[in-house]
Amino acid sequence: MRCGIGYDVHPFSWERKLILGGVRIPYEKGLAGHSDADVLVHSIADALLGACGERDLGYHFPDTESKYKGICSLSLLEKVYEILKNKGASVINVDSTLIAQDPVLSSYIPQMKSNIAKALKIKTEQIGIKATSPEGLGNLGEKKGIACLAIASITK
């Protein structure tokens, strides 16, 4: 068994839609980034890549390549699954924590879990997603963006 951790953060942007776990969240702002800026999926992908000894998401899918501009992060997660599969690895579980002052995310978590499970070809019970507030502290507490922490366990 091997474990990996992932972290991602993106600032808010008025010009974008908010996508987390592949779910369109109704909110006045989205997250800035080269892809769809899905911090949840990005942190999970980095955790999985780290668990199998690979380099980070930006290395595998650089923001200097136009083919990744605006791409759905779930598509990238499917590619990460293929990397794991080619290395003889399978996902045991994934756990993550979204950190956002706004919006409230709890009602969207079941669909996020379903989307991520489908991309990784695992059961939703193997995925943990939590959301917490920074209680008004720092840039996240000032509603300047959203961050996410993730950990993943794999077996070879």
Is 10 within 8 Å of 35 (Cβ atoms)?
A: no
pLDDT of residue 63: 87
49-108 pLDDT, tens digit per residue, is 999 999 999 999 988 888 889 899 999 999 999 999 999 999 999 999 999 999 999 999
pLDDT computed for residue 65 by the predictor = 87
pTM of the model: 0.96
pLDDT digits (tens, 9 = 90+) for 93-120: 999 999 999 999 999 999 999 999 999 9
* pLDDT above 90 coverage of the chain, percent: 94
Integer Cα distance of 92 and 94 in angstroms: 7
> Any alpha helices (H) in the chain, and if so which ranges?
39-51, 57-60, 73-86, 109-120, 138-141
- The structural domains of the chain, ordered by start, are 2-155 (3.30.1330.50)
Q: Residue 149 has what pLDDT? A: 98
Q: CB 113: neighbour CB atoms within 10 A? A: 21
| Cβ-proximal residues to 127 (8 Å cutoff; 6+ apart), any chain | 93, 94, 95, 96, 113, 116, 117, 120
